[in-house]
Amino acid sequence: MFFLGKQVHVIGAATAGLVAAKRIAQRGIAVNVYDQKAVLGHPVRASGILSISGLSTLGVNYSSAITNTLYGANIHSATKTMRILSSKPIAHVLDRKRLNEVCRDEAEVAGASVTVGKRVSGAELERMRACGIVVGADGAVSTVAKHFSLGEINRMLITYKAEFNIQVPDRNVVDLFFDNGKYPGLFAWLCPNAQDLLEVGVGIDSTSGNAKRTFEAFLREPQISSIIGKNRPVSEGASVIPMTLRKRFVDGKRRIMLIGDAAGQVKPTTGGGIVFGGNGAIIAADTIHDYYEGTAKLDEYQKRFLGAYGLDLKLHSMINRLYSSLGTRGVGTMIEACNMLGVDKFLSIYGDMDRPSLVLRRFFLRSLA
Ligand SMILES: Cc1cc2nc3c(=O)[nH]c(=O)nc-3n(C[C@H](O)[C@H](O)[C@H](O)COP(=O)(O)OP(=O)(O)OC[C@H]3O[C@@H](n4cnc5c(N)ncnc54)[C@H](O)[C@@H]3O)c2cc1C
């Protein structure tokens, strides 16, 4: 059934916007999606590492976007390393442009209309709101949030990353470098992407300095320069990642909703936002359906999202705050303690990249057993 005269405008056609559009169209509601980019997913913000369990919740047929499969991570401090290695695949590295194409195809097949090369202005947002619901899926620096004064995202990270044509021997493991002195707020990473493509990046708190200079210093570290050698990047660029939820990501009275990075639906431990943002999109779409059915108010969306993911985001935030409070030596001591207590082995079997609440539950159940 199509809801006559009901209309949703989604601003931003990356994963969150397209997952929402598909779900809204599947629920029988007319939906238009707009993106300022002429080619969706380009330029690429970064490779996406997504847990296989998280990916399965998005309902996207992502298999053609897989460029690598990961079984674990080496977590390095300045002096110590913890290796978490599962016997099963735990995450895929995805080609973000291809993922966007798949999401767009699926949204269009469901009945959504997708317009590219169109930047939506404040005046247009007003016109769209007058004849329907506006969903801002337009990233951390959201025009929709700004235009409708939905408040700020209090903490942002800046990232700088580049891709190099390099093959690494251990393709199924990502390397993460934690040193709060050098990468305050997040970390640096080496991620084997497609067969001969290695992504190298750093993320730091936006108040802590210059991400590009931090990145250049990271490349000069002996451990990294021995891998990169004289290779030149094939692509590089800076971006931002929101580190907190926006205090308010729906205004039911004015029929405005925010999803994905625009809402701050991102894990503060790693900056990963595709799974949480995609699930925010699904919850927003279902709330829109219930609103048009007359069984829910749009404001329910925020409560539903926090009910489903609030605890996990809080736990991610606590872990990130703990890390941010430690110096270089403190991080090393923590990793050493984790190795001594067998945390590496526990996480290899019972870890979950997205849902620390599930890891805690598994820990307590095992302790009881
Ligand atoms: C370096 C880096 C590494 C990352 N690694 C990972 C990872 O490994 N795993 C993971 O899960 N996440 C990762 N992330 C986070 C992930 O990229 C984001 O969470 C995700 O892209 C958010 O998707 P989104 O759809 O909410 O918004 P975005 O991807 O930010 O897309 C917003 C879209 O809105 C469009 N837009 C903006 N304003 C307008 C306007 N006014 N009119 C029309 N269109 C507009 C933009 O063109 C864009 O296409 C990483 C981010 C960075 C920067």
Residue 14 Cβ contacting ligand 1 at under 6 Å: yes
Nearest Cα neighbor of 60 from 27, 24, 101 is 101
Q: Write out the two tokens for 175.
A: 């390397």
**CA 144 to each of CA 101, 147, 257, 308: distance values in angstroms, whole numbers, following the listed order:** 24, 5, 9, 24
The amino acid occupying position 41 is: G
DSSP for 18-70 reads HHHHHHHHHTT-EEEEEES-SSTT-S----EEEEHHHHHTTT---GGGEEEEE
The amino acid occupying position 361 is: R
Each residue's pLDDT tens digit, 148-186: 999 889 899 999 999 999 988 889 999 999 998 899 888
Taking a C-beta distance cutoff of 8 angstroms, is the pair 246, 151 a contact? yes
The confidence score (pLDDT) of residue 2 equals 47
Show the low-confidence residues of the chain (pLDDT under 70).
1-5, 44-46
Residue 272 Cβ contacting ligand 1 at under 6 Å: yes
**Ligand 1 pocket mutation pick from 9, 18, 32, 36 by most atoms within 8 angstroms of CB:** 36
Dihedral over alpha carbons 229, 235, 237, 240 (to 10 degrees): -100
Examine residue 43 and say whether the peptide bond preceding it is cis (omega within 30 degrees of 0). yes
Residue 303 Cβ contacting ligand 1 at under 6 Å: no
Q: Write out the two tokens for 282.
A: 């699904």
Residue 282 Cβ contacting ligand 1 at under 6 Å: no
Residue 159 Cβ contacting ligand 1 at under 6 Å: yes
Q: Which residue has the tokens 């985001």?
A: 313
Interhelix angle for 343-350 vs 356-368, to 10°? Answer: 110
How close is the Cα of 99 to the center of ligand 1, in Å?
12
Residue 268 Cβ contacting ligand 1 at under 6 Å: no
- pTM comes to 0.95
Longest dimension (CA), the chain: 63
**CA 314 to each of CA 34, 66, 187, 192, 350: distance values in angstroms, whole numbers, following the listed order:** 32, 30, 19, 29, 20
Residue 356 Cβ contacting ligand 1 at under 6 Å: no
How close is the Cα of 12 to the center of ligand 1, in Å?
9
Tell me whether residue 147 is exposed, middle or buried, using C-beta atoms within 10 angstroms of its C-beta: 0 to 12, 13 to 18, 19 or more: buried
How close is the Cα of 34 to the center of ligand 1, in Å?
14
Report all structural domains of the chain as residue ranges with CATH numbers, in order of start. Answer: 7-71+88-153+243-319 (3.50.50.60)
Which numbered atom of ligand 1 lies nearest the CA of 240? 53
How close is the Cα of 109 to the center of ligand 1, in Å?
23
Bridge partner list, 44: none
The confidence score (pLDDT) of residue 290 equals 97
